[in-house]
Chains A and B, each alone.
Chain A
Amino acid sequence: MAKRITTHQYCDLPDLGERLSFKFNGKNIKAFTSDSITSALIASEKTLLTRSFKYHRPRGAYDVFGQGHESLVTVNKEPNILADRTRVEDGMFVESQNVWPSVDFDIAAVNDVLVPMLPNGFYYKMFHKPKWIWPIAEHQIRKVAGLGKIDVTGKHVDRRYEKHYRFPDVCVVGGGPSGLAAAKGALDEGKQVLLIDDNPELGGHALHSILPVVNCSNSALNGIPEYKAVKKLIEELAENTNLEVMVNTSVFGLYEDNLVAAQCDANLFKIRAESVVLAPGATDRHLVFENNDRPGILTARGVENLIMCHAVLPGKDTVVVTTHDGGFHTALLLKGAGANVVAIIDGREPGSDGEFEKQVRNLAIPIYKGLTVHSAHGKKRINRVDVGPISGGDSHQSFDCDLLVMAVGFKPQVNLLSMGRKRPEWDSQRQILRVNDLPSGMYSTGDVHGTASFSRLYTEGTDSGKAAALNDDAPKTERTADEIIMALPADIESAGTHHFICKCMDVTRTEAKASIDEGYDQVESLKRYSSMGMGPCQGKACHEAVARLAAIDTGISEAKAVPTTMRPPFSGVSFGVLAGRAPHLSPIRRTPIHQCHIDHGVKFLDAGQWKRPDSYTNPQEEVGFVRNGLGMIDVSTLGKIEINGPDAVAFLHFMLPAKYAKFEVGRTRYSIMVGEDGILFEDGTISHLEQGKYYLTTTTGNQDAINALFQWWLLVEDFDVQVKNLSLANAAVNVTGAASREFLQKLVEIDMSNKAFPYMHCRQTSIADVPVSFYRIGFTGELGYEIHFPAEYGESMWRYLMTEGETFGIKPFGVETQRILRLEKGHLIPGTDSDALSSPYETGVGFAIKDDKVDFVGKAFLKHFKDRGLDNKLVPYQLDPSSPIPDDGVAVLENGEIAGRVTSSRMSPTMKRGIGLAWVRNDMSGSGNNFTIRLADGQDVTATVLDHAVYDPEGLRLKS
């Protein structure tokens, strides 16, 4: 019978806080604010918390530190929450997992009888024939062998996932006595320290130890019980402003260069420390014996925690199984809390005389030496234990009890020390698995090297903290004979077949042996076949038992026992924490005119990171605005590069394939760029704004690459030029349509007439006192002017032009509209209509190359392309007015064979038929030639090659 206690004979009890209540499996449970879910349930005599993974055996609290699967419950619809570490909240809904219909009566518990009758690893061997049976079997196996269920609607989760970074000088993992001392050691050296502990409170196991501190180098701690001493130490550290403490935080991974990954609730911490001190401590050793998984069997430190931190006595009639004086300490705490300690079963031979053993003897509690537990009885809670020799065999005696306390030594938490770098090794002298050599900058201290007195842990911790702060060699650890706890056999070879090695995955010694007999006789293959150590605790509870028993059962000396590789995550980490929140990872680029587009009710188009206006009404209608009136588009995303200086012309000659020696001020030209491989990768315009000052526009996607390329060549070649990337500094719009000249003439002082400002010319002037540059170009096929101006005037300029243009019927148009307009004019877009194999000659822009220059980027390959002739050609085409419109990218066929592809295809509202650009074989590219386009639905349509643009082939409109 568990109960809440109000007084204790040997220690002070904690303040439990306010009263509250929560629901467990639909039943009301009373608790205090200081309670964990586990302590509250035990205090309410709810021993049965969950069912096991495979056999659905009843399971209850075990270590009370959240190491095993027993602690996993569903809280407020969120599965796999650690009940041991989760504080109760008023109104909380807690449910058992992996049970149906209830944890008390679980239908699947029949597995406990049925499954052992099936062959070992039956799920690998059965249900394969006939084929259709496996999906059904898999569904059923998953249904009965699983953990909690995720509510995929996610509606229950109201949580922000955050990512944080920390850069302490020293990161200490573990807040027990040695971790606290390490933090102090580093703080004393003036370092910034981050101290992390996975429990709600710092202090570790010392929080529930009444052993007085003696011989501690921190004299203020001597003479007081450890639980008071550790609190005093915490208070002392709390005053240091260089210390940051994170509790309830699990370190789940250690990576190169001292990267520590930790989770606290929905927060991911990435900690890059100069040095890391690992003080993860040790937990009670897992002993394998018959029915070692029954509810009512708890670890000694779990029981001590319940009594001293939660004022909960977890049972009335108690048997303590031990191999060291700590078991007598637990017995004393139980006695002081009012328990009936039926017996203490000490595996050691007579002759031990620890401090607590002496006290227990004075209380006339029966002590049985040289024995250990053989078997537990009772189903949903133990009611009796059998004891016998530690070598197993027949049991000698039985004791009725409702609580069995396991105090059979400690198992260091070596996982974080190992983490895939180095496997632990069995230390025969200290009787534990250890990891000795750590990478540079990483230190370890405390119980992880074997249990020791408070004063020794304090000294070693302080030394490690100082060494970490000063980047010194790691201090050596020592353990005296009286500190070493002998390890019992990993399995007490008693009768029965329910000796659980891995409680998470329900793997017994019998199954492990059967697997070894089947040939899985290496610890790694044994783990994978039997799934030992692959459950929620990831081997934290069982890795030592697995290693030792695998060694024994495969005929290896126990001294050579090696656990399987320990890798992150050390503790459970949610996908939400790893994923974080998506918007941070994909920033949006907005043009300086973005808000104006929103005001016009724009439909945006994603162009890389840019949000560009796709259209405002519909593209087909917007084409009409431009062809028949006046349109304006935001082209601020264009790259804009100014080149000036004495060598500007030489630089342009080198970088671009055209000639510029006779390029007069005020002129604008179409320009292309090729790579050193001669492949076309860019086109735009270049304008000669002032003597020696040129202005190059590039496509949106290439602006950074071209600027970087220019800068790179400037490092390689000796040109006296200045290259200024003005892509962000300038906004730009294209005002186009027959009325554009008349409209703009109203706004500027320069003469906009065709004679004074002809096609392919540029001018610098101002609009409403804002300096602007005009480029008369014809991408849309209409009379048009690109206007560039400082980006900070983006919104104002757009609004001004829209307002002033109202009488001319000006309308905004988007990128999709522009794509139709340019296609009607037959203009290509590099990257869309060309690819990484397109030569400029095949693409139809060979006119922009003047290869009789001395040298320029791509010259050698361009010569090769020219000499080789054309294999393929990019051609404009049109469809019959009744033909459906192909998708971009569909195949061009000849005689049923692929002979090219369509790169751009649209319905032309001006020509009222489908038009496009397509790559075809050169012999198919003659004007008037017909070719076949296969649509996505398999239908074929006939296209006719044009030798000119479908719209205004003479260019009369744009030159007008």
Chain B
Amino acid sequence: MIKTSPLSGIYRNHPVKLTEFSGWQIADNFGNAERELIHLSQGSVLADWSHIGKISLSGSDAAKAAEQTITGASKIEPLRSLSNQNMAALRLTRNDYLILCQSGMETDLLEKIDHKITTVIDQTGALGCLVLGGPRRDEVLQRSTAMDLRRDRVIAGSVIQSSIHTVSMTLYRTKHFDIIIHPRNLSESLYDALMDVGIGVGLVPCGISTVPVSFEEGK
């Protein structure tokens, strides 16, 4: 059985080329990969990374559990992150982590974590993930949220928990992307809202061939 993105309804409205990734059906491109690359370099793009693995760790020993997924995760400060190409540990509070990983890796990670010491939930299907990229992505954010997301204040590697277009979300910022983790059931609404405000700054949807999944904060 195929796992579907919460944006499957959006896919229908575009000449999307779908690809299969660890059992997920996800957009490889939205019909014109060349155009997506131009917008990535000159305008802004919105990619669907809903298929990435997402694991939440909650409880007093969440840091210990996080350490079991990525070395050093227990030492990061709240609202900061530790990442490599394949995964990122986002420390939301002293007692809460969200682990992001390449699609399919979550199964192994869940096995590594001692479920007795903290509350572990596989949130892969519960949460959507939209990624804003391109030099004009800040203009999309400035139309979308009352949060101060200035790049000199919210630097790469930062984690923000707030709301965007009234949708609660966790934002993980890398050097070139803003990764927005949000409830799956609101994914299509959030996509619509971002695309709506992004019209003026050349925001286009794009697939994972244009913006492949990578969690490194320097990317």
A588/B143 contact (C-beta < 8 A), A728-B126, A770-B1 known: no
In the complex, A449→B126 CA distance in Å?
59
Q: Does chain A have a CB within 8 A of B166?
A: yes
Q: Does chain A have a CB within 8 A of B146?
A: yes
In the complex, A166→B143 CA distance in Å?
9
Contact with B along A707-738 (1 / 0, CB 8 A): 00000000000000011111111100000000
- Assess whether A792 is in contact with B124, with CB atoms less than 8 Å apart: yes
In the complex, A725→B123 CA distance in Å?
10
CB distance from B71 to the nearest CB of A (A): 25
CB distance from A766 to the nearest CB of B (A): 10
Closest to A711 in B: B58
- Assess whether A790 is in contact with B167, with CB atoms less than 8 Å apart: no
Q: Does chain B have a CB within 8 A of A263?
A: no
Contact with A along B31-45 (1 / 0, CB 8 A): 000000000000000
Residues of chain A from 557 to 610 with CB closer than 8 A to chain B in the complex:
581, 583-592, 594-595, 598, 610
Q: Does chain A have a CB within 8 A of B133?
A: no
A790/B125 contact (C-beta < 8 A), A272-B148, A584-B193, A769-B1 known: yes
Residues of chain A from 134 to 150 with CB closer than 8 A to chain B in the complex:
none
Q: A residues within 8 A CB of B183? A: 589, 728
Which of B24, B122, B126, B143: most chain A CB closer than 10 A?
A: B126
Interface locus among B75-83, B85-93, B196-204, B211-219: B196-204
Contact with A along B1-35 (1 / 0, CB 8 A): 11110101100100000000000100000000000
Q: B residues within 8 A CB of A595? A: 4, 8-9, 12
A795/B4 contact (C-beta < 8 A), A587-B166, A587-B167, A728-B185 known: yes
- Assess whether B125 is in contact with A590, with CB atoms less than 8 Å apart: no
Pick from A163, A272, A796: contact of B2, CB under 8 Å: A796
Q: A residues within 8 A CB of B186? A: 587-590
CB distance from B91 to the nearest CB of A (A): 19
Contact with A along B103-141 (1 / 0, CB 8 A): 000000000000000110111111100000000000000
Q: Does chain B have a CB within 8 A of A165?
A: yes
Q: B residues within 8 A CB of A42? A: none
CB distance from B180 to the nearest CB of A (A): 14
A588/B189 contact (C-beta < 8 A), A162-B143, A724-B119, A793-B1 known: yes
Which of B123, B148, B185, B189: most chain A CB closer than 10 A?
A: B185
A724/B4 contact (C-beta < 8 A), A160-B199, A162-B200, A192-B150 known: no
- Assess whether B145 is in contact with A165, with CB atoms less than 8 Å apart: yes
Q: Does chain B have a CB within 8 A of A797?
A: yes
In the complex, A722→B119 CA distance in Å?
6
Give the total of B residues in contact with A, Cβ under 8 Å. 46
Pick from A163, A590, A792, A796: contact of B185, CB under 8 Å: A590
- Assess whether B143 is in contact with A163, with CB atoms less than 8 Å apart: yes
In the complex, A192→B153 CA distance in Å?
11
- Assess whether A792 is in contact with B193, with CB atoms less than 8 Å apart: no
- Assess whether A796 is in contact with B3, with CB atoms less than 8 Å apart: yes
Pick from A587, A769, A791, A796: contact of B184, CB under 8 Å: A791
Closest to B10 in A: A595
Closest to B165 in A: A584
In the complex, A429→B147 CA distance in Å?
45
- Assess whether A583 is in contact with B196, with CB atoms less than 8 Å apart: yes
- Assess whether A592 is in contact with B125, with CB atoms less than 8 Å apart: yes
Pick from B123, B147, B152: contact of A729, CB under 8 Å: B123
In the complex, A769→B1 CA distance in Å?
8
In the complex, A794→B186 CA distance in Å?
15
Q: Does chain B have a CB within 8 A of A481?
A: no
- Assess whether A793 is in contact with B3, with CB atoms less than 8 Å apart: yes
Q: Does chain A have a CB within 8 A of B84?
A: no
Q: Does chain B have a CB within 8 A of A167?
A: yes
- Assess whether A797 is in contact with B185, with CB atoms less than 8 Å apart: no
Which of B9, B24, B59: most chain A CB closer than 10 A?
A: B9
Closest to A586 in B: B166
- Assess whether B152 is in contact with A792, with CB atoms less than 8 Å apart: no
Give the total of A residues in contact with B, Cβ under 8 Å. 46
A791/B125 contact (C-beta < 8 A), A162-B197, A167-B148, A587-B193 known: yes
Residues of chain B from 167 to 201 with CB closer than 8 A to chain A in the complex:
167, 183-190, 192-193, 196-197, 199-200
Q: Does chain B have a CB within 8 A of A164?
A: yes
Q: Does chain B have a CB within 8 A of A255?
A: no
- Assess whether A164 is in contact with B142, with CB atoms less than 8 Å apart: yes
Q: Does chain B have a CB within 8 A of A768?
A: yes
Pick from A192, A584, A768: contact of B166, CB under 8 Å: A584
- Assess whether B193 is in contact with A800, with CB atoms less than 8 Å apart: no
Pick from B1, B59, B121, B146: contact of A800, CB under 8 Å: B1
In the complex, A729→B147 CA distance in Å?
28
Q: B residues within 8 A CB of A46? A: none
In the complex, A800→B142 CA distance in Å?
43
Q: Does chain B have a CB within 8 A of A270?
A: yes
In the complex, A163→B139 CA distance in Å?
11
Which of A163, A728, A730: most chain B CB closer than 10 A?
A: A728
Q: B residues within 8 A CB of A793? A: 1-4, 125
- Assess whether A729 is in contact with B121, with CB atoms less than 8 Å apart: yes
Q: B residues within 8 A CB of A583? A: 192-193, 196
- Assess whether B4 is in contact with A796, with CB atoms less than 8 Å apart: yes
In the complex, A192→B165 CA distance in Å?
26
Which of A167, A192, A583, A800: most chain B CB closer than 10 A?
A: A167
A768/B8 contact (C-beta < 8 A), A584-B166, A584-B196, A728-B183 known: no
Which of A730, A769, A792: most chain B CB closer than 10 A?
A: A792
Q: A residues within 8 A CB of B187? A: 590
Q: A residues within 8 A CB of B9? A: 590, 594-595, 598
CB distance from B19 to the nearest CB of A (A): 16
Which of A591, A724, A797: most chain B CB closer than 10 A?
A: A724
- Assess whether B146 is in contact with A270, with CB atoms less than 8 Å apart: yes
In the complex, A166→B2 CA distance in Å?
42
In the complex, A422→B6 CA distance in Å?
53
In the complex, A608→B152 CA distance in Å?
39
Q: B residues within 8 A CB of A728? A: 123, 125-127, 183-185
Closest to B192 in A: A583
B-to-A contact residues, CB < 8 Å: 1-4, 6, 8-9, 12, 24, 59, 118-119, 121-127, 142-143, 145-150, 152-153, 165-167, 183-190, 192-193, 196-197, 199-200
> What are the nearest 6 A-B pairs in CB distance?
A792-B125, A728-B126, A587-B189, A792-B3, A791-B125, A167-B148
Question: Could you list 12 examples of A-B contacts with CB < 8 Å?
Answer: A167-B148, A167-B150, A590-B186, A594-B9, A595-B4, A728-B185, A729-B121, A729-B122, A790-B125, A792-B3, A793-B1, A795-B8
A-to-B contact residues, CB < 8 Å: 160, 162-167, 192, 270, 272, 581, 583-592, 594-595, 598, 610, 722-730, 768-770, 790-797, 800
18 other A-B residue contacts (CB within 8 Å) besides A167-B148, A725-B121, A796-B4: A162-B197, A164-B143, A167-B150, A270-B146, A589-B183, A589-B185, A595-B8, A722-B59, A723-B119, A728-B123, A728-B185, A729-B121, A790-B125, A791-B184, A792-B125, A793-B3, A796-B1, A800-B1
